[in-house]
Chain A
Amino acid sequence: MSDVAAIEVRGLKVHFPNRSGVGAVRAVDGINLTVARGAFHGIVGESGCGKTTLARTIVGLQKESEGTVLIGGRDRAEWLKSDRKSFSREVQFVFQDPLGSMSRRQSVYQTLEEPLQIHRFGSSVERRRRIAELLDLVALPATVLDRLPRSLSGGQRQRVSIARALALKPSILVCDEPLSALDVSIRAQIVNLFTSLQKQLGLTIVIVAHDLAIVREVCSDVTVMYLGRISEAGLTRPLFREPAHPYSQALLSAVPSPDPRIEAGRRRIILAGDPPSPSAPPPGCRFNTRCPVAIDVCRVEEPMLRSVPHGGVAACHLADSGRRPVI
């Protein structure tokens, strides 16, 4: 049982029909992804690459157009249909905007008690004890219990929403940009909270992120998406050290260092143009319109994921297990 992946995504497509009725936004367009138990898995990519849609579809907040999602080997669609409650005891979602995901009229105590009530967790005394444990886990003082979400700071709110997600002791957390709305010094607090929770509780965490420095620091594995597809995936450190896909190289090069000595001498890869629209991806490799090393085959044939030197996979015609293009 232990070698069953926490999350297994197979041939996943999520298409949103255009309002005109012609064509569709192909937000997620054919994705296979395996997240091992205990992994801290980062999903990165730019706006419109489908990373949030992928995360929402994993937990069933969004319905797939094609393909399947297995959670601990169990079909997620079936599971949700037959026993929604046991599914939510296994998998929880943390939203980017904690304020938008909480009731503004419920105190922190009520916010944390609600999932326990719905799942008929113990007596009110036991629930009170569990809520105290949860506050401890996310390092919030008991004084926040009577407060309303809007009177909390951004960091405190995100702690409350993490505590609520942990209330039912799930084994998998899927988080959509949980750090984006936070200030730098507070962001570091929440990053450290995630890492300690993962160690303490043995969680599997999937995190959608755009801050690559944080991904490098906390994620064991990373998946890079471009226009609805996976362009590259692997262990975070080897992949970031030696990215095989030209898009990953440009994306990593775009992150500035906080050290001006490094910035002064650094060669930057500046891509031309914007990503194409996800309703009309270009033929061939989806990145070919911005790729500085594209050759003829890239404009015709879509590259499949193949093994690359860092030990992971990339979808690039110019890469294989022995070589990678360098832009």
Chain B
Amino acid sequence: MSDAQPIYSIEDLVIDLYATTVSVRAVDGVSFNVRPGETVAVVGESGSGKTVMTLGPLGLLPEGVTVDMKGSARADGSELLSIGSRQLSDLRGRYFGVIFQDPMSALNPMLKIGPQLARQARRFAGLSQEAARKEAVSLLARSGIPDPEDRYNRYPHEMSGGMLQRAMIALALAARPRVLIADEPTTALDATVQAQILELIRQIQREDGIAVVLITHDIGVVASVADRVIVLYAGQVAEEGTAMDVLTRPVHPYTRGLLASVPDFRADERAATREIPGLPPNQIRLEPGCRFAERCELVEAGCRQHRPPLQTISASTSPHRVACPVVLKREGIAVHV
């Protein structure tokens, strides 16, 4: 699967957000791609730019925010940053399925669940009315909703949080997308329901071979579903690689700090949870150096002057890359050119 060509790729993306008096560089030169059958997790804390980076090119940022995007975002032979809004809307409908943290941001509260799914299937998968209805019922069943014939005629308010989350996943799948974008899909859910939803996402991926981009701050969720991980800090990539590389052999001081601050529920012997001192930077002030310098224990004078390059330390189809020359030098880690 890792040999396949990317079906969605972002190149050197810069996103500036403008409010009335301030502007924020939310995403600052990020590249990433996803291939069919692969799950890429975009990990970061609030303000890291993970949501803006993923939803921005799809035109899904909240209204009222002025956005300026540079770079490239390509899917299905189109350049998302330059196509018209109708084309973008069409591509978004048939190529991308999006699931959000809050199911009610995707579902219409005034319409019954089933017809919402059927409409999507008719419009984007080109099914007839009767076929679309059948498809909707089977999508509900596949998403783990018991008694789908009955639920077809229910309104969103008649369903529990876990059921709505499933209904939204069913809606995202109705157009048979190639890429599923999941923005904190389990954050609002209870532990046992989260386990159900993650299992559902794993299953859909196995069966349909679609690509999944998972935006999350939950390292446990990453470890349980992701093939590759991109760690964002203040709008820049700190580290990326396979989930195995990044989570078990982290190199960037931020990744290491982040992982050390997550207690491992299943480890028997474990050092006490450590904390990263300080706060993420205020991105209103754009400084030239490494964004993590203020909180970093390895910081050197040069860190504040130049942006650290993302360097490859293990070459493969999913290379392990780290944006911290200081740690590489200190630990004698070789850089592949």
Contact = CB atoms under 8 A, between A and B. Distances in A.
B265 A255 contact: yes
Contacts of A213: 220, 262-265
B309 to A, nearest CB: 24
A125 interface: no
Interface in B258-277: 258-259, 261-267, 272-277
Interface in A10-55: 46-47
Interface stretch (B15-23, B148-156, B242-250): B242-250
A188 B191 contact: no
A73 to B, nearest CB: 34
Contact of A260 (B217, B244, B263): B244
B46 interface: yes
A185 B192 contact: no
A268 B266 CA distance: 13
B248 A184 contact: no
Interface string B183-204: 0000000111111101100000
B223 interface: yes
Contact of A258 (B161, B220, B272): B220
Contact of B192 (A46, A155, A261): A46
A192 interface: yes
B146 interface: yes
Interface residues of A, number: 42
Contact of A210 (B191, B224, B226, B272): B191
Which of B191, B198, B259 is most buried by chain A, counting CB atoms within 10 A of its CB?
A: B191
Contacts of B247: 258-260
Contacts of B97: none
Contacts of B163: 274
Interface residues of B, number: 46
Nearest to B229: A260
Contact of B45 (A47, A183, A191, A269): A183
A274 B219 contact: no
A192 B195 contact: no
Nearest to B254: A185
Given A261-B244, A262-B266, A46 B191 contact: yes
A185 B261 contact: yes
B160 interface: yes
Contacts of B244: 260-261
A263 interface: yes
Contacts of A118: none
B1 interface: no
Given A184-B217, A270-B199, A258 B192 contact: no
A262 B133 CA distance: 41
Interface in B277-313: 277, 279
Which of A156, A216, A254 is most buried by chain B, counting CB atoms within 10 A of its CB?
A: A254
Contact of B195 (A210, A216, A254): A254
A174 B198 CA distance: 32
B265 A216 contact: yes
A94 to B, nearest CB: 19
Contacts of B262: 184, 188, 213, 258
B266 A183 contact: no
Contacts of B222: 258
A259 B160 contact: no
Which of B224, B243, B267, B272 is most buried by chain A, counting CB atoms within 10 A of its CB?
A: B224
A50 B275 CA distance: 31
A103 interface: no
Contacts of A262: 223, 266-267
Nearest to A195: B272
A266 interface: yes
Contacts of B177: none
Contacts of A258: 219-220, 222-223, 247, 259, 262, 264
Interface string A262-288: 110010111101100000000000000
Interface string A143-156: 00000000001111
A254 B219 contact: no
B266 A257 contact: yes
Which of A217, A252, A256 is most buried by chain B, counting CB atoms within 10 A of its CB?
A: A256
A305 interface: no
A327 interface: no
Given A46-B192, A192-B275, A257-B264, A263 B223 contact: yes
B224 A256 contact: yes
Nearest to A266: B266
A4 interface: no
A212 interface: yes
A62 interface: no
A258 B260 CA distance: 10
14 contacts: A183-B45, A183-B46, A184-B45, A185-B45, A210-B191, A252-B265, A255-B191, A256-B198, A258-B220, A259-B267, A260-B248, A261-B244, A262-B267, A274-B193
Given A187-B261, A258-B223, 4 more contacts: A255-B220, A257-B265, A259-B247, A269-B195
Interface of B: 45-46, 146, 160-163, 190-196, 198-199, 217-224, 226, 243-244, 247-248, 257-259, 261-267, 272-277, 279
